[in-house]
Structure 1
Amino acid sequence: MPVLLIADDHPLFREALRGVIGRVFPGAVIHEADQVSVLYDLVDSCPDADLLLLDLDMPGSSGLGPLKQLRGQHPQLPIVIVSAHEDPLLIRRALDHGAMGFIPKSSDAQMLRAALIHVMDGGAWVPGATPAAKASAAREPMMAASVRELTPQQFRVLQMVGAGLLNKQIAHELQVSEATIKAHMTAIMRKLRVSNRTQAVLIAERLGLGTWRCGIKV
């Protein structure tokens, strides 16, 4: 059963999210936090959670501060911002700091459902009609040029990371040491000019580079 975390200080919105999650993922385990201090303890106690839905306006928070801190302490945790703010610059900054997506609170239940399914499948979600999406598209040539700097082996590693494989699993698949994979990831992040694995995977997904399943590019 998937484990989802909700961080929002508004009880009615938490209830709405619970309802959507329950319909999309019956049997899902849901944990909630209504302030940042509770959120940090919650994430520490659920290190293997499948997704965190994070509001930016909670007691004890400061803008993107919680996102930055959680990305640093729990880089494996997928985080999606759910916010009443729809400023294009804020959306772009959230993605740049490692969020897998940004869902406006103005979204209806159908949009929330689509976003949750897409993110839980490993995709990145951005409001399609916002200038932030256009700004992202405008950066694609630069991102593509960075990807072209990758060696074939680094490209394969990036695809495997995008498919959700851990360093240990990638090392086994490619028959190299785990230290070699860590070195590849360091080189990949440097060439793509990102600070963590999630941001690297987002670039790969935006460019439609495909993923790796059982040794086959799809």
Structure 2
Amino acid sequence: MPPPTLLVADDHPLFRAALIQVLHERFAPLQTLEAASAATLGQALQDHPEVELVLLDLAMPGARGFSALLHVRGEYPQVPVVVISSNDHPRVIRRAQQFGAAGFIPKSAPAEDMGAAIRAVLDGGSWFPPMAAERSEADAALAAKLAQLTPQQFRVLLCLADGLLNKQIAHELGLAENTVKVHVTAILKKLECYSRTQAAVLVKSLETEPEAAP
């Protein structure tokens, strides 16, 4: 059997290097890949179907809160995602779980906990720190709505949230403008939104809360 391939997605090169060192110390042999933005994360997953686990920082260029997590879970449902974040507020942890993460590791966690969490997920389980936040029915409903979107529709939705016009979205994603119009219509219907502004507000709700005080 070939060694497992893990993808570390974080925009801080020093943290990526430290995490990769932990991985190689605890999971030899092992292949690791790196991504520093939402765009390079998507490209790496497209280029490397052998990836067995994504270790994902929520705060990366091109990501809006939980958008990268939702995108990976929607486009690559067979690949588990462990969120690694400096924001370990209970509600952030709970939302990551409801939006499809298989685990959540605070960046402040000791290397032993990181290793245990990653091993649990590689073995088909999950790992989350103790949480005080209650399950949110609103988040569950939002996750269900977003799960109806195709990967391309999700990309169009993020462009909508950035305030881009159809023509600009077409240029950004390499689509025909009429195709964008069809996607926008489908997105609004699936999300039960009456306007582009309402859809943009929905995307804003994916953003994480301010970092918890130390």
The question of a shared fold, defined as TM-score above 0.5 by the shorter chain, is answered with yes
What does residue range 136-151 of structure 1 map to in structure 2 within 5 Å? none
Q: TM-score, normalised on structure 1?
A: 0.59
Paired AA for residue 69 in structure 2:
L
Structure-2 residue corresponding to 1:9: 11
Structure-2 residue corresponding to 1:19: 21
Size of the alignment, in residue pairs? 135
List alignment gaps of at least 5 residues for structure 1: 140-218
Q: Does 1:32 align with 2:34?
A: yes
Structure-1 residue corresponding to 2:199: none
Runs of 4+ in 1 over 6 A off after TM superposition: none
Alpha-carbon distance in structure 1 between the residues aligned to 2:48 and 2:93: 26
Paired AA for residue 117 in structure 2:
A
Q: TM-score, normalised on structure 2?
A: 0.60
Paired AA for residue 101 in structure 2:
A
Higher relative contact order (CA 8 A, sep 6+): 2
What does residue range 195-210 of structure 1 map to in structure 2 within 5 Å? none
Structure-1 residue corresponding to 2:111: 109
Structure-1 residue corresponding to 2:56: 54
* CA contact 1:48–1:77 (8 Å) conserved in 2: no
Identity %, equivalent residues:
44
* Post-superposition CA distance 1:5-36 (Å, at most 9, x none): 00001111111111111011112010000111
List alignment gaps of at least 5 residues for structure 2: 138-214
Structure-2 residue corresponding to 1:94: 96
Structure-2 residue corresponding to 1:131: 132
* CA contact 1:86–1:104 (8 Å) conserved in 2: yes
* Post-superposition CA distance 1:133-189 (Å, at most 9, x none): xx46xx9xxxxxxxxxxxxxxxxxxxxxxxxxxxxxxxxxxxxxxxxxxxxxxxxxx
CA shift for structure 1 position 115: 1.0
Secondary structure at the counterpart of residue 51 of structure 2? coil
Structure-2 residue corresponding to 1:158: none
Across the aligned residues of Structure 1 and Structure 2, the Cα RMSD in angstroms comes to 1.7
Paired AA for residue 102 in structure 1:
F
